[in-house]
Amino acid sequence: MDVRARAPGKIILAGEHAVVHDTTAVAAAIDLYTYVSLHFPTPSENDDALKLHLKDIPLEFSWPVGRLKEVLPELGSHPASSPSSCSFETIKAITSLVEEQNIPEANIALASGISAFLWMYTSIHGFKPAKAVVTSELPLGAGLGSSAALCVALSAALLALTDYVKLDFNHQGWQMFGDSELELVNKWAFEGEKIIHGKPSGLDNTVSTYGNMIKFLSGELTRIKTNMPIKMLITNTKVGRNTKTLVSNVSDRTMRHSSAMSSVFNAVGSISNELASIIQSPVSDDLAITKKEEKLGELMEMNQGLLQCMGVSHASIETVIRITSKYKLSTKLTGAGGGGCVLTLLPNLLSGTVVDKVIADLESCGFQCLIAGIGGRGMEISCNPSS
């Protein structure tokens, strides 16, 4: 039996980092996905290994199940219905299993994703031989939530082949999970994110699981119904960064200046709440939309100022801000910052010619632009992967 799961990336419209410190953030799924296929070998295949194929890189890893049993003896007996955190000892054991695979130095950032795979796989399926294949349309480590999309797609594919999920195996194409199943997927994905991010808020895995646009506060989501079309230009500065380090740098700054940082986080929370209410309030005509867009743009600029205050902006991000401000457009970083991707609000009445000019200007600096659909589908599963 094979399954294929997909989970979307995301953009954060307001509230990254502050959300880790328990303030509100607003995020939306985007129509770029990570896909995970899972195959259990039949007895005739005579395969006694757990295999992971990262197809886009491309890299393949293989662990004989005997080796997994030897290094992770206490795993494999845990019920998949109650997600648990990876202990310090287990993460050390998993790290040694990953190191044995001799990942090329250029791809070493993948180690945490591979560790998350090993933890989630062995926690849910124990030492059963299998092959997982991962592909992604998302840039990795660029602020669009590739880590969460990987964990959600993995969690969904793994759970789909347990008794905890009821699937329609005759269904052609993508199907959704029920509410309690989605909740379980999200919880396991959060455990995977912890291995990659250290201290995630849970925002990224939640929006990737449920899709749409959400407001998120202290682990709780509220769905947002948008009452206006929102178009964002996503610019990838192509400056590599790592969410775990950036989140930990912000926490260190918070330790040093707790009162000042708490005011910064509060201000971000107010921005997220105002942004969410603007998006949800009814609109009568184009003029009303333009007025709302002006407010949204201003809030994005304010949020960017506070992210700069947290120490997570970057020269490349400032360059995008400078270029887009020539066209009177508002820009903020999205995700953990330090490089990665940047959002620019594109007003609905902005002409295509101007958009083309902005993109040409940005791309002439070596950046890469894309316009993704916002607020779409969450995690889905296909039981007929070839269809």
Ligand X SMILES: Nc1ncnc2c1ncn2[C@@H]1O[C@H](COP(=O)(O)OP(=O)(O)O)[C@@H](O)[C@H]1O
20 binds, among Mg ion, ligand X, ligand PMV, none (CB under 5 to 8 A by kind): ligand PMV
Nearer to ligand X, 111 or 350 (CB): 111
Residues 144-163 that bind Mg ion (CB under 5 A): 147
* Residue 363 Cβ vs ligand X, minimum distance, rounded to whole Å: 21
List the helix and strand counts (H, then E) for the chain.
11, 12
d(CA 255, CA 55): 41
Q: Is residue 134 part of the contact set for ligand PMV (CB under 6 A)? A: no
**Which residue from 4, 39, 194, 197 is in contact with ligand PMV, where contact means CB under 6 A?**
197
Least distance (Å) between residue 190 CB and ligand X: 13
- The DSSP result for 261-327, as a single string, is HHHHHHHHHHHHHHHHHHHHS---SHHHHHHHHHHHHHHHHHHHHHHHHHT---HHHHHHHHHHHTT
- Kindly state whether residue 52 participates in binding ligand PMV, applying the rule CB under 6 A: no
Cα–Cα separations (whole angstroms), residue 132 to 4, 55, 62, 76, 110: 9, 10, 10, 18, 15
CA atoms within 13 A on the CB side of 315: 1
Catalytic entry in 204, 252, 356, 361:
204
Region 263-302 residues binding ligand X, contact defined as CB under 6 A: none
Would you count residue 204 as binding ligand PMV (CB under 6 A)?
yes
Strand pairing class (130-136; 331-333): unpaired
Amino acid at residue number 61: F
CA distance 50 to 306: 45
Could you say which of ligand PMV, ligand X, Mg ion, none residue 201 binds, taking C-beta under 5 to 8 angstroms by partner kind?
ligand PMV
HSE-CB for 127 with a 13 A CA cutoff? 16
The question of whether 252 is a catalytic residue gets the answer: no
Which residues contact Mg ion by CB under 5 A? 147, 243
Which residues contact ligand PMV by CB under 6 A? 16-17, 19-20, 143-145, 147, 197, 200-201, 203-204, 243, 247, 335-336
Which residues contact ligand X by CB under 6 A? 34, 54, 109-110, 112-113, 134, 136, 140-147, 150, 196-197, 242-243, 335
Catalytic residues: 204
